[in-house]
Amino acid sequence: MDRDRMSVATAIVLVVTCAVISGCGTPRPIRNPVPIRNPAVDWHNEGLAYHGAGNYEDAVKCYERALEYDSSYLGTWLNLGLALRMLRRYEEALECYDNALSVEPDNARIWYDKGLALGGLGRWEEALECYDRALEIDPHSWGPWFNKGLALGSLGRWEGALECNERALEINPYSWEAWLNKGTALGGLGRWEEALECYGRALEITPDEPKAWHAKGMALEELGRRDEALQARGRAEELRTAVALAVDSSGAGGASSAAEVEPEDSALSAGEVRVFQGIDFVWVPPGKFTMGSPPDEAGRDSWEGPRHEITLSKGFWLGKYEVTAGQFLEFLEATGKDSGVNFGDYCPVKKSRSGYSLRGEYVSLVVDLPMVEVSWHGAVAFCEWLSSQGEGKYRLPTEAEWEYACRAGTTTAFSFGDDESDLDYYGCYYWLYYDDYYEYEHEYDPEPTEMVGSKKPNAWGLYDMHGNVWEWCGDWYGDYAGRSAADPTGPSYGRWRVARGGSCGDPADDCRSATRGANTPDSTSNYLGFRVVREAD
């Protein structure tokens, strides 16, 4: 594999937005020499702008106007349903999802959203049917399992609710909501000691969640531990009061920024989660590991060796997910610094005279896709913008930090073991056989990128470290020196910047923990994104 090759030529479909790329950084334009103005698209795009700003009333009006011109537009029905749900107009949302299902009856996401609308109306049995239908189509999706558990709990069917939450936790063991709901199901069965353990797990993930403290207090009360119950409920009330004060002082619905910049505790353990500036971060502790791959590892490239011991003397916070299109859109709107972005047909954010907006027909899907078509310089600019807010220093991870975090204490080819057949549970990748680099046995249609967090995380709670999109690192690319090093940052100069992790356009071999990729710092690709480090205070 060439060092600067990031992915293979591909054709992707994202909702109704089609894109084709060739190689790593040079898109092949879609041939459409005569653009035709379409009022349905114009109204739909205006609706997206209102939707992204949280103005759901006006978004609904725009989507409805779009449907007057073209009632067969699937994306408009889906977005209209979402906006109506946000306004708690569930009956109208149901009509939208029924219209969408008449176009795509085997779309798991539509069945899931219909279930949510039915749940909003308290029609739990019908909601269950929708969640079951979604799970028939995609049994590895977290949302339907989680919400099916909620529906069963609302019906008092605790055994079923427990099973659903356990399935949800198999997919995402770092969901505090699933731990909380599993505890509720166990409490419904009278198994309060086990429920208490679940509430404890929820609080390990999010120690300042009042719902979890309140539930813990309830379990302690049931167990006759009244003093502890009183303390837990008191803590829940303190947190509720703090949130209310933060809302009053900021005029917005959210926690105060002061809670986001508390100093790091030396007792932090791997995988603890904190939110800084609206981004989820996972704590990666200091430690040692062996970097690179052994000579006998399947799929190994020569530049992954020689193996060498690395010491990282300081812990750091690493983005739980790849930076999303929604997060990058906030940066663009705040700064207008877009020189590192290729706003082609494959970028999830588009630029127009009126500003920036999300591309695509279903905003709730696009907003959580990984941001791509960003050069190394664009990724660095995003980090600098975060740092300028005065709430910590942000940067790209070094190559050593990235591999250390990806491995999460393992020495195998992947963070989950050596068996690449398990990769589908942990990463979005393309399954194919190679004849030789760009010669394949069959025509192929690679998978599109998936919403961040769609697969299982590694042992430290980091998602999409294998596949989905390549991730820029801070280092220049260079051959390994083959000797031990402490806190390495790579060569002082070079031609290529390192990228890691593989993508959904690559085979499993290129998504291993030790796989190295690189590209020129000004290049972009729809299979190339990044995640962010926040340095410890």
pLDDT single digits (tens) 298-310: 989 989 999 999 9
Q: Which is higher by pLDDT, 445 or 489?
A: 489
For residue 34, the model assigns a pLDDT of 35
Q: Specify whether the CB–CB gap between 428 and 369 falls below 8 A.
A: no
For residue 470, the model assigns a pLDDT of 95
- Does the bond joining 306 to the residue before it have cis omega, within 30 degrees of 0? yes
**In this structure, which CATH number among 2.60.40.10, 1.25.40.10, 1.20.1530.20, 3.40.50.1860 belongs to the domain 39-260?**
1.25.40.10
Residue 13 reports pLDDT greater than 60: no
User: Which residues touch 455 (CB under 8 Å, ≥6 apart)?
Assistant: 140, 424, 425, 426, 427, 428, 463, 464, 468
Q: Using 50, 70 and 90 to split pLDDT, how confident is the model at 172?
A: confident
For residue 374, the model assigns a pLDDT of 95
Domain chopping of the chain, boundaries: 39-260, 273-321+391-535, 325-370
For residues 457-468, give the mean pLDDT.
94
> How do residues 325-355 score in pLDDT, each as one tens digit?
999 999 999 999 999 999 887 888 888 888 8
Rounded Cα distance between 93 and 77, Å, is: 9
Using a pLDDT cut of 70, give the percent of the chain over it.
Answer: 83
Give the N- to C-terminal CA distance of the chain in Å, as an integer.
39
Residue 244 reports pLDDT greater than 60: no
Q: Specify whether the CB–CB gap between 498 and 518 falls below 8 A.
A: yes
Burial degree of 503 (CB within 10 A; 0-12, 13-18, 19+): buried
Token pair 């408009």 is found at 76
For residue 502, the model assigns a pLDDT of 93
Rounded Cα distance between 199 and 180, Å, is: 6
Token pair 């989507």 is found at 63
For residues 208-219, give the mean pLDDT.
88
Q: Using 50, 70 and 90 to split pLDDT, how confident is the model at 421?
A: confident
Q: Give the count of beta carbons closer than 10 Å to the beta carbon of residue 304.
A: 21
Rounded Cα distance between 320 and 334, Å, is: 23
Q: Which is higher by pLDDT, 190 or 359?
A: 190
For residue 257, the model assigns a pLDDT of 29
Q: Which CATH class is domain 273-321+391-535?
A: alpha beta
> How do residues 62-91 score in pLDDT, each as one tens digit?
889 888 888 877 778 888 988 898 899 999
User: Which residues touch 209 (CB under 8 Å, ≥6 apart)?
Assistant: 176, 180, 202, 203, 239
| DSSP tag of 259 | G
Q: How far is CA 34 from CA 27, 80, 212, 338, in A?
A: 20, 29, 57, 27
Q: Which is higher by pLDDT, 94 or 249?
A: 94
Q: Specify whether the CB–CB gap between 501 and 467 falls below 8 A.
A: yes
For residue 16, the model assigns a pLDDT of 28
Residue 106 reports pLDDT greater than 70: yes
Residue 432 reports pLDDT greater than 70: no
For residues 434-463, give the mean pLDDT.
63
Query: Which one, of 82, 75, 85, lies nearest residue 17 by Cα?
Result: 75
Q: Specify whether the CB–CB gap between 85 and 95 falls below 8 A.
A: no
pTM for the structure as a whole: 0.55
